[in-house]
Structure 1
Amino acid sequence: MPEPTKGRVVGLQERPLGRTTLRTYRTKADIDDIIPNDRQPRLGPKEDEELQRQIDDNEGLFEPLLVEPHPEISGKFRIIDGERRWANSRVLVGQGKSQYRQVPIEVTDRTLSEEDRLRVWIYIHRQRKEWDAKEKEMVAYRLIQLVGRASAANMLGITFKELDKLTEVFELSERFKGLKDDAASLTWARELLGVSKKLLTPSVIDAVVDKVARKRITNSKDLRKLRSILPDPVASSHFMTRDGDLESAMLRLRAAPQQKVKVGLVDDLDTVVESVKNVPWATLSELKNDPEFLKKIDEATKLLSSLRTTLSS
């Protein structure tokens, strides 16, 4: 069976993408005739086992790669959008699955300018759910490297202040290592930067990064407790020690009157104990399959453990 002719135009169509309208045609190309763009906005690893499984299950790519005629290599195409799909198809081909060697592509009728190429990529990715989850900060940071601060703000349609905020989040996220999900580091950074700038000194940031790496803090939303801890000298000082954590620091917040807190805490614990004693075992048996209830049990256990440690010290 003869291979498809490279670059054969089978009918041009107009594809409006924001302020840029492309004229494209669809065909297929050998995976080795497609070359990634080294000035692509997306950073980080491209290989993804889940995406490879999806490609394999669908017996190929459902959505063609958007490519342009390579400006320097005749007969080759350069990727505008779809580098992850290309990279993971290439992995499958490397595993001996040659049926994925021919890749569906949508080809522009010309090589784009860098500004048009970036605008098209941004427009496409803004339509996807990943944009708010993990891409906008990364893209802002990368665009500044590629085209400078003024052009980056213009392409994203945001102010310099908004651009600086996005890059600040991305730079901080790069310090959170060892998390299961790439997007999680951005979530941690966003939460931490929600704390007042006056309180968020470099040493506090260092302490948080260290405690997250050592699993002393495991939920990014718990960082909101720093808004109460950091203004308090005693609680803040304790948190900054190597063994301090959010829960034990919260226990050191100044309280007035102390005796009222003590009595109230004892009464609350008595209430919890009596409540547990009075729950029928049949009901408890049903709750063992309730993930939200089990999560609350774990949180309570952790808090009580920190309380016991504090009282023993």
Structure 2
Amino acid sequence: MSSERRGLGKGLEALIPPAPTPSGVTEVEVDRIVPNPRQPRQALDPEALQELATSIEEQGLVQPLVVTEVEGGFQLLVGERRWRAAQLAGLEMVPVVIREATPQQMVELALVENLQREDLNPLETATAYQQLVEEFGMTQQEVADKVGKNRVTVTNTLRLLKLPDEVKNALLSDEISEGHARAMLRLRGGVAQLQVLQAIINKGLSVRQTEDLVRRMVEEPKTEPKPPQKSPELRALEDEFRQALGTKVNLTQGSRGGRLVIYYYSDEELQGIYDVIVGD
């Protein structure tokens, strides 16, 4: 096991100590259980859920759910997939372990459970990290310690939330991978990121190809816009001014007038220009 997953092995006891009352396995009605509103996972695979329901029909629910008591029933802490599959399988009673938990512990436990199972989409993970930081005042380092990741990993995951909605939706629907999304973070502005997204989808770019494309876009020098070409008539008039004044002249013309710039390089030249224009 790598050092980055060190916190995930601590298990339920480390995050939520047993309640002061006996907390062994007991049976409760499945319809008295409500889902964890702080569950970071936003979607469940219907096909995988049905497969689990079929297994539960045949073998029963072997691993108990973990719940906490709330008014009128119980709230899930661990085991939402098993709970929903048990409902599909038609179970009326399910085994549970009852624990006490604060709102913060509910987020932490749901997050750690899904990270252990690698069930979360990167955006779901980022949203859970953000909830721990913003709602419970945890630092990114504290979040990293809690879930067994290093701080840089947590920081980079949180940055995914800054991507345009179109990119985030593509990541949620598996049109692009986390590697594609991370590559786009180098770009400033949603327009460029959306251009890369379309290139990934239309051309089937790999993560490495996406990184190369982004690098070229970042390193591409910004060229100054070329001034509009002057008409022959305007150039001829500019030459006449130059000859008459004996110095460099720049004449530009727009739709509502123009500008005549006369250059001089000494007081004597300025006096000469004055004499030509104003006279004695």
TM-score tier after normalising by the smaller chain length:
0.5 to 0.7
CA offsets per residue over residues 183-234 of structure 1, 9 Å max, x none?
A: 95534212333xxx4x544332121123345x23443332121255222459
> For the structure 1 residues 131 and 55, does the alpha-carbon distance in structure 2 shift closer, same or farther, using more than 3 Å as the test?
same
For 2:214 and 2:129, the matched residues in 1 are separated by: 28
The equivalent of 2:108 in structure 1 is 119
The equivalent of 1:283 in structure 2 is none
For residues 68-217 of structure 1, the aligned pairs below 5 Å read 68-70=68-70, 72-73=71-72, 76-90=73-87, 92=88, 97-98=89-90, 100-108=91-99, 111-130=100-119, 136-144=125-133, 146-148=135-137, 150=138, 153-157=141-145, 163-172=154-163, 174-176=165-167, 177=169, 182=174, 184-193=176-185, 197=186, 200-213=188-201, 215-217=202-204
> For the structure 1 residues 101 and 174, does the alpha-carbon distance in structure 2 shift closer, same or farther, using more than 3 Å as the test?
farther
> For the structure 1 residues 227 and 182, does the alpha-carbon distance in structure 2 shift closer, same or farther, using more than 3 Å as the test?
closer
> For the structure 1 residues 187 and 120, does the alpha-carbon distance in structure 2 shift closer, same or farther, using more than 3 Å as the test?
same
For 2:162 and 2:86, the matched residues in 1 are separated by: 31
> For the structure 1 residues 32 and 47, does the alpha-carbon distance in structure 2 shift closer, same or farther, using more than 3 Å as the test?
farther
> 1:35, CA displacement in angstroms?
0.7
For 1:25 and 1:115, the matched residues in 2 are separated by: 23
The equivalent of 1:28 in structure 2 is 27
Gaps of 5+ in 1: 1-14, 235-313
CA offsets per residue over residues 86-132 of structure 1, 9 Å max, x none?
A: 23433x2xxxx42x232222222xx3222333333344344333469
Give the share of equivalent positions with the same residue, in percent.
Answer: 21
For 1:107 and 1:146, the matched residues in 2 are separated by: 25
> For the structure 1 residues 79 and 174, does the alpha-carbon distance in structure 2 shift closer, same or farther, using more than 3 Å as the test?
farther
Q: Does 1:221 align with 2:220?
A: no
For 1:162 and 1:181, the matched residues in 2 are separated by: 22
Output the aligned Cα RMSD: 3.5
| Structure with greater Cα Rg | 2
Aligned letter for 1:124?
Answer: E
User: So what's the TM-score if we normalise by structure 2?
Assistant: 0.58
CA offsets per residue over residues 64-85 of structure 1, 9 Å max, x none?
A: 2210111x22xx1111122233
The equivalent of 1:17 in structure 2 is 13
Aligned residues: 202
For residues 214-293 of structure 1, the aligned pairs below 5 Å read 215-230=202-217, 231-232=219-220
Aligned letter for 1:154?
Answer: E
Asked whether the 8 Å contact 1:31–1:103 carries over to 2, the reply is: yes
For 1:186 and 1:174, the matched residues in 2 are separated by: 15
User: So what's the TM-score if we normalise by structure 1?
Assistant: 0.52
> For the structure 1 residues 226 and 136, does the alpha-carbon distance in structure 2 shift closer, same or farther, using more than 3 Å as the test?
same
